[in-house]
Structure 1
């Protein structure tokens, strides 16, 4: 932790622009999640969770309930209730795929995955275009920056968790 006071620090225009850009991305992503919720006729928290489950499965690293709880910022108990709703509605399947049969893996049901594909065909084209048109070198720089700023935010969160 540094001794800098973020409220009185003299920030450069580029630093301010980045912070505003991160804020604007967060707002735009939240708006897209609201659209996904409407598209799937789910509460926003359920749509967000389902989106995380689908994305993780698509990348070949399906989530456990504990990992999902961390990603969506809910307690494990609240996440279990949410997962029960999604499973009852036919949106996800819980399975035991690892050698440790206690470990539950979350996978989207085929219909939920297809519904998400239809949503992304409408909502994801511009984002995909930006990603495709950005050079690998620039993507590495952005990814590195995002890793560092996320680690800093995580560290602040841990410090706040430990603070009375």
Structure 2
């Protein structure tokens, strides 16, 4: 039983299939694998690509809806987590988390404050410092967009057995550690 036929280059997912992009096995060996096994691996790669594209769409939609850039969104996610943990955030702590300069942090905070996303207040124990907090309306907006998607991911991961989760963790960690010179 030979399994599914080899794809043609005209199929939408052909660029993920080594039988199309690497037919002479110069980059990856699939010797000893039957067509069904290669097709299943390609389905994994398709699922990863679709998840990545969905993640990019979510981030783009959230940034567009809130009129923010990626760094602004990272700052708001940090402020949400800090609020949930009841921790004070200083401009310095935010700059460190975002790996940006204090000058860039000041500009970011000015932008977020003008847009009504954050509030600055005196630090409760250090008279020289300020604390940054997310406004309740922005907290709710972040929770209702990114938060709900994250909750769905948590539920999907919770449905896996502990062994399946370890397999996914190992797989994603290996993907994350890959160095690429070519973008497919």
Does the TM-score normalized on the shorter chain lie above 0.5? yes
Alignment of 1:101 onto 2:127: yes
Deviation at 1:121, TM superposition (A): 5.0
Structure having the higher helix fraction is 1
Residue aligned with 1:124, SS:
helix
Distance 2:135 2:114 in 1: 11
Unaligned regions of 5+ residues in structure 1, if any? 1-23, 147-164
Deviations 1:57-97 (A, max 9, x none): 11222321111111112101101111001001110011123
What root-mean-square deviation, in Å, do the aligned CA atoms of Structure 1 and Structure 2 show?
3.4
Given the alignment of the two structures, is residue 62 of structure 1 paired with residue 88 of structure 2, yes or no?
yes
Q: TM-score, normalised by structure 2?
A: 0.52
The match for 1:40 is 66
Contact 2:123 2:131 in 1 (8 A): yes
Residue deviations 1:17-43 (CA, integer Å, cap 9, x gap): xxxxxxx9xx78x73544431232212
Residue equivalent to 1:77: 103
Alignment correspondent of 1:114 = 140
Residue ranges of structure 2 left out of the alignment (5+ in a row): 1-48, 174-184
Structure 1 residue matching 2:88: 3-state secondary structure: coil
Kindly tell me the number of residue pairs found equivalent between the two proteins.
119
| Larger Cα-atom Rg | 2
